[in-house]
Amino acid sequence: MRGVLAIFRRELVLAWAGGSGLFLPAAFFAGTIFLAPLGVGTEPRLLSALGPGLIFVALCLASLTTLERIFQADLETGALDHQRLAGLSMELVTLVKVAAHWLVSGLPIALLTPIAAVMMRAETVSAATILPVLLGSITIFLWGGVGASLTAGLRRSGPLVALLVLPLFVPVVIFGAEELNHLLTGQTFGAGLSLLAANSLAALAISPFAMSLALKLE
């Protein structure tokens, strides 16, 4: 357990130092939300209708800025081989690495959701709007970790990671936008939240084994 905690602390430091800290993904997300009204217009009804979808699309795009770095440093330094030889579960190791990157890069985006909703002229804004984006970001980083593990040995693998994982983001955007629309129009939680949670659980169950297998083949 100590070894896993040490890896988690190391990954937090690497995620921050590698440029995937608060500023890059969060700034990308905020910039996308800021520019959207300039492209589609500032009419309140139009913005409130497009807002939930735009927020989730911005979440997906902002997440892509960091995914390729999840395993890159470990392969270059041989850290993954040391962890494997130390007898650590590679499924748990990969999950911890993704969790650290999500904590540094994904969580701040979710916390910006109420501000993004205000910019999209939402009818009702509350702290509850964070929850769909929070669940969506967890799923995105888990599937993103699978894409990162498949391309870990390649240089400048960002575009390839995006190509691999964007189809897996589609359910997140559909269910997340639907649920966020419910909340921003003053309604209670709907079926979209359950579907988002189910998607997150599926990603949590599958992705560690997929990442571990992909890294063994590198």
pLDDT at 206 > cutoff 80: yes
**Whole-structure pTM value:** 0.89
Residues in Cβ contact with 48 at an 8 Å cutoff, skipping those fewer than 6 apart: 120, 121, 122, 123, 184, 185
d(CA 83, CA 100): 17
pLDDT at 200 > cutoff 70: yes
Q: Per-residue pLDDT tens for 38-90?
A: 888 778 888 888 888 999 999 999 998 888 878 877 776 777 767 777 777 88
d(CA 145, CA 97): 9
pLDDT at 123 > cutoff 90: no
d(CA 157, CA 67): 10
pLDDT at 7 > cutoff 80: no
pLDDT at 201 > cutoff 90: yes
Q: What is the pLDDT of residue 185?
A: 84
Q: What is the pLDDT of residue 2?
A: 67
d(CA 215, CA 71): 9
d(CA 155, CA 137): 25
Number of domains in the chain: 1
Write out the residue range of the structural domain in which residue 197 sits. 2-216
